[in-house]
Homo-oligomer: A and B are copies of this chain.
Amino acid sequence: MPTIRERNKRLIIKTACQVFADKGFAATKTSEIADKAGLPKANIYYYFKSKEALYRAVLDSVIEPLLQANSHIYEQDEPARALQDYIRAKIRISREHADASKVFANEIMHGAPHLSPQHREQLKAEANASVARIQGWVDDGRMAPVDPQHLMFVIWASTQTYADFDWQIMQITGRKKLAAQDYDAAAKLITDMVLKGCEVVPCEA
């Protein structure tokens, strides 16, 4: 059973994540987080010693789900399978954790001023491991000799864009909200493009 403390902290972090994603750190007022969470503002400061501390807590909570997708790169031995699972997972994250993605994107875009050195290292390590894995497939002749780093950047960018820049996607597609078929279409196109680009033959879904 969760203590009242844990329950409230979670509520505040979750609400704060939404507002930070929407407005960015500086434009977010603690009073707005409080209102949206249905709590008086002072309550926020009872659980978090400052707005920045709350923001860091949000950043922490956001990183793990965003890194989950990486597992597919390791768990699958076959390049085609690994890449298509990875892309699908990244798209699913853009759909299910859009706020998390936006908070993180904002942080990165401004040079990650609030990201702890530990997290920086963790992200770098994950990226390097994925790059090494892809390079291994290239060396084994199991895929075309693409630059693994830039391949990662393309996959990250084109999947995360459906979360970070969802406003633009909705404007162009004319949707009020992105639906399952939109994410599926995105995943299909990105997967096709990447697999053809890497010259590996797709596995069945």
Distance from A167 Cβ to chain B, minimum over Cβ atoms (Å): 5
Bound-state CA distance A79–B151 (Å) is 23
List CB contacts (< 8 Å) of A87-105 with chain B: 102, 105
Distance from A109 Cβ to chain B, minimum over Cβ atoms (Å): 6
A138 within 8 A of B: no
A150 within 8 A of B: yes
Asked if A108 and B168 make an inter-chain contact with CB atoms under 8 angstroms apart, the answer reads yes
Known: A109-B167, A161-B156. Contact between A173 and B197, CB under 8 A?
A: no
A112 within 8 A of B: yes
A171 within 8 A of B: yes
Chain A interface category by residue count:
35 or more
- In the assembled complex, which residues on chain B have CB atoms less than 8 Å from the CB atom of A25? 27
A36 within 8 A of B: no
Most buried by B among A25, A102, A152, A189: A189
Stretch of A7-15, A39-47, A63-71, A120-128 at the chain-chain interface: A120-128
Asked if A24 and B22 make an inter-chain contact with CB atoms under 8 angstroms apart, the answer reads no
Asked if B24 and A110 make an inter-chain contact with CB atoms under 8 angstroms apart, the answer reads yes
